[in-house]
Structure 1
Amino acid sequence: MEASDADSVRARLRAAPTDPRERDALCEAISAELVAAEAEPPFDIASTDLDSDAFFICADRFWRRRFLADPGLETATACGNWILSRVADPWQRDTAEIWAMGFGFLTAADFGRDPLGETAQYLAHSQDQPEAVTEFSRLYQVGRARTAFRFDDVHALLLAGREESDLLRPLEHALLAFAILGSPQWTRAYAQMRAEQAWKRRAGSKAALDLLLNGLGVAHPFIEQGPLLVSWASQAVRELPNSHSCWYWLATGQHMVGHQPEASTSIAKALAHLPATGTRVSHNLLLEQYRTLMLAIRTAPSRSS
């Protein structure tokens, strides 16, 4: 990209409208232009604010387009290298986690039959890549397995070529707990214990919190599943009252324990907080998921609290 074009992109984003829909439309347009020009975003990132930072929003839209067009590990490598070169150090890991999980969600339908073999081959041939880049690519694969509910693949991908002691981030512990919760090969007592450990380690990580609620919601059934999900999701909505996913998991837990009026209120709040801006792909997937739960709640018998 010519220097003048890069300057123009930066100037347009600096002057982005404050109205969320107008700002989002601008970021979508610029991201489409960059993809068409086969140019990566020519600007640096110093936040992970998807609500108001036009630069981060534009970068997010650009990489979404790239992953949807080509969901393979080559795209993950390119994205990982861009994060390393363009995202300020304090936000690199958070950006990697947000994008690995988010783009993994969007591309799970294209997940291969042998993700462990594919990832192992990739890691073996990526020795010249920085560790942060290969770990982003691994985490992206984990995010795809997580979305497809391939619990044993999540477990294997996390630990491929390393020990459990190498898992340091709250998100990694949450992913491991998610895998154990969903797989029937572990006892339910052990799965609950690992989930409770990961919950204590979440250290303010919204991604870890959301994963643990997700893990409880789709876990291989155990007696305390519903009450524990209600307890944790209730805490989550107090911490993050505008989080549509936290309200969704609270509704799921309330539905599990038979508290349908409360669940109906919670799923309504989840739908109210679901942003209408951003990529229509992820919005429509979530909208369908939330509406399905809403219909299940409305047709389910209610038990007294």
Structure 2
Amino acid sequence: MASVSHAARLDQVSGADSRELDQVCEEVAAALYAEGTEPPFRVGSADFAADPQLICADRYWRLRFLDRPSVRTAAACSTWLVGHVARDHRTEVLEKWSLGYAFITKDSVESGQELSQALEAIVGQDTPGADTAYFTTLYQAGKHRANFWFDELHQFLDSSPLALAAGSHRRSPLFTALRSFAAFGSRVVTADHAISLLDEAWHSPDRTRHVVDICLNGIQAATPFDGAAALLRDRAAEAVRDHPRDHIFHFRLASGQHLAGQLDDALASIDAALRHLPAQGSRGSHKLLQEQYLARRDAILHSRQRARLDVEHEERLRAQDERHRIHWEQLQTELRGRADAQERAHRESQEQARANHVRSVELVAVFTSAIAFAVGSLQVSLSGDFSLRDRLLLIGVWGVAHVVFALLIVGGTWLITRPRDRS
């Protein structure tokens, strides 16, 4: 009768507002957990926002995992899921529950010995056993992923008996995406191998939203490699096109754009992530995500401010270089002008000195001729028996000879020292 009343309450609240829906689902889940009764109703959708049966079952199993965060609880959850969730929506619920419950219980990772002890009870020989092994493998792997234990995740997926028991599920795109996540973070696995696993999961026709999320998470958390920023940006942009209201994908896109230096686009993307972030959630902490997004936004704003300052600094350096270039050219011109002026002054000084020297030579020549003329004239006048007429004629000839001599000296000096065209 209690089960009937619980189901009736959920049926009655299906059209109510979100707060009443949340309260009723929480109360029914708590009552079922207190009674030790698994949800008796079937789930016909994967709508975690409006389907009361799914929301209630989700809250119930959340309580179970928080109480006993083990692969045994995961096995029980998987068995219930196979028996109560419609096949068309089973994959979505399975991926969301296994990874989501792993996140909220990431502080309780079971050892290999504990897994081995639980394995016999979990895995059978029929198909449901492989399905259960797959769910529990995702749950255990999700804890490694949430803790960023890349090498442990790689080892668990490759060699754990529990992971090997998942059988054909090991070829699922989600399993491959987890292997890609482990490879991206490992320092012993090459980035090329990680990218090949990423591409295999990404291009699978069975790719789901959770596959995309793990792939992007792996790129963002990867050990740095060439092209990581562009790869994250491009794949996240594709994810946003497919899921335009998914806040996680907007956040991944903002991270890729930030790393690629597209700061304005990154700011728009992180604002979109904050806008689409729901007010609350049963698995993830709204406050934790909001703080993470705001921290990224602050980092983007800081990068924008730093880039702006860098541009201003570069502009100041270019302006300073230009001023130095102009000043240097002016200085060179001034120095060349000074050198030309000094050369002209030196040349003029040399020409003036040469002219002075010529004048001196000419003056000496004229003075010498005058003295010689005077001496010669005196001798002619005071000696010999020449008549006055002969004496005057002789003095005239003597004077003409000395004038010619002086003219020859002056003319020769001018001819030798005259300015010449240097061209």
Give the TM-score normalised by the residue count of structure 1. 0.89
Of 99, 102, 127, the match for 1:101: 99
2:254 match: 251
2:122 match: 126
Q: How does 1:281-300 map to 2 (within 5 A)?
A: 282-300=285-303
Displacement after TM superposition at 1:255 (Å)? 1.6
Displacement after TM superposition at 1:110 (Å)? 2.2
Q: How does 1:37-116 map to 2 (within 5 A)?
A: 37-112=35-110, 114=111, 116=112
Displacement after TM superposition at 1:51 (Å)? 1.9
Displacement after TM superposition at 1:41 (Å)? 1.2
Answer whether contact 1:21 1:277 (CA < 8 A) is retained.
no
Q: How does 1:87-236 map to 2 (within 5 A)?
A: 87-112=85-110, 114=111, 116-128=112-124, 130-159=129-158, 160-161=160-161, 162=164, 166=168, 167-201=170-204, 203-236=206-239
For structure 1, the residue ranges without an aligned partner over 5 or more in a row are none
Answer whether contact 1:6 1:42 (CA < 8 A) is retained.
yes
Distance 1:83 1:236 in 2: 28
Letter in 2 for 1:10: A
Identify which range, 129-138 or 209-218, moves more after superposition.
129-138
Structure with more helix by fraction: 2
Of 12, 15, 18, the match for 1:15: 12
The superposition leaves residues 147-174 of structure 1 with CA deviations (integer Å, 9 ceiling, x where unpaired) of 1111122222223243999422111111
Flag the 1:121–1:208 CA change in 2: closer, same or farther, 3 A: same
C-alpha RMSD over aligned residues: 2.3
Answer whether contact 1:181 1:215 (CA < 8 A) is retained.
yes
For structure 2, the residue ranges without an aligned partner over 5 or more in a row are 309-423
Larger Rg: 2
The superposition leaves residues 173-206 of structure 1 with CA deviations (integer Å, 9 ceiling, x where unpaired) of 1111111111111112222222222211263410
Flag the 1:303–1:208 CA change in 2: closer, same or farther, 3 A: farther
Distance 2:182 2:240 in 1: 24
Q: Percent identity?
A: 37
Flag the 1:101–1:202 CA change in 2: closer, same or farther, 3 A: farther
Secondary structure at the aligned position of 1:130 is classed as helix
Answer whether contact 1:202 1:209 (CA < 8 A) is retained.
no
Give the TM-score normalised by the residue count of structure 2. 0.66
Answer whether contact 2:72 2:118 (CA < 8 A) is retained.
no
Flag the 1:165–1:201 CA change in 2: closer, same or farther, 3 A: farther
Secondary structure at the aligned position of 2:107 is classed as helix
Secondary structure at the aligned position of 1:186 is classed as coil
